[in-house]
Amino acid sequence: MVRRCAVIGSPIAHSLSPLLHRTAYAELGIADEYQYDAFEVTPDTLDEFVAGLGSEWVGLSVTAPDKQALLCHGVADPLAEALRSANTLILGRDGEPNRVYNTDIVGFGAALARQGVRTARTAVLVGNGATARTALLGLARLGVDDAVVLARDESRARASLDPIAGPAGVRLRVQPFGSAPELPEEWNGHADLLVSTVPVEVPDNLASALVQKVSAVFEATYNHYPTAIDRAAARAGLVSVDGLDFLVGQALDQIRLMTGRQADPGPLLAACRAEIARRQPSA
């Protein structure tokens, strides 16, 4: 019996997950054992979709807007519980319960580790949404205990990020988005890491100003890839991790959970970058 997996969310047509998982299956020599598809599923239809999965199903990758609703469909791992967001469902067998995971945190750390970044103490975090919450917990796991957050609305930023920062022991200093941050005096004008999580393109002048204040850069999104921050980091010769590194990182842990095998990130990154290049309009 072919084992089935899929990505669900809405909209789903743009998802790179089928490409990543199918590439991994081919590299691992299990393409005839596993099938990976994509389905349009919203929180309103999630219960019905999961209930209809047969015995051939192994698991699901889950993207927006279903990540919070997924928590009701299994026992959550500590990371998913802390973030109140899950991106992976592994179906229980032989009376075992379903399990839900958040592999974004593992992907965050793995993407940085592949570029030699394994620890940090100070960080600048751009944004305060769901990706910023994930990044903040990832930063805490790296050792960050002091962070400047650039956000348009301090009260919203606090409401989103304080529940993560408090238990993780990270001090947050919220500053307005749109200009280079004023770093705390004790940082000596320098932060270990910049993480940008905003889906909109950052102006070139702001991107340049941001990268001048840090040792390494993580552009967590791949909207407008390569972004202004990606380009500024390259010009400055900084260690740089981009949104495709992040995407592959979280997919690798999903593949491990679904197949029990560890895929090589190289072919997945190559396939991902080739597909993004193909999708970009010709000059």
Decide if 213 is catalytic: no
- Angle between helix axes 204-211 and 228-236 (nearest 10 degrees) is 40
Q: Which two tokens stand for residue 70?
A: 């997924």
Cα separation, 132 vs 198, in Å, equals: 8
SS3 (DSSP) at 173: strand
* Antiparallel, parallel or unpaired: β 239-241 and 214-219: parallel
With left for phi above 0 and alpha for psi between -120 and 50, is residue 150 left, alpha or beta? Answer: beta
Catalytic residue among 4, 21, 67, 133: 67
| Alpha helix (H) residue ranges in 147-193 | 154-168
**Amino acid of residue 189:** G
Phi, psi at residue 247, to the nearest 5°?
-60, -45
Closest CA to 268 of 16, 97, 15, 73: 16
For 166, counting Cβ atoms within 10 Å of its Cβ (0-12 exposed, 13-18 middle, 19+ buried), the class is exposed
Cα separation, 180 vs 187, in Å, equals: 15
- Angle between helix axes 17-28 and 243-259 (nearest 10 degrees) is 50
Q: How far is CA 242 from the centre of its chain?
A: 10
Residue 161 and residue 135 in contact, taking contact as beta carbons nearer than 8 Å: no
Which residues participate in catalysis according to the annotation? 67
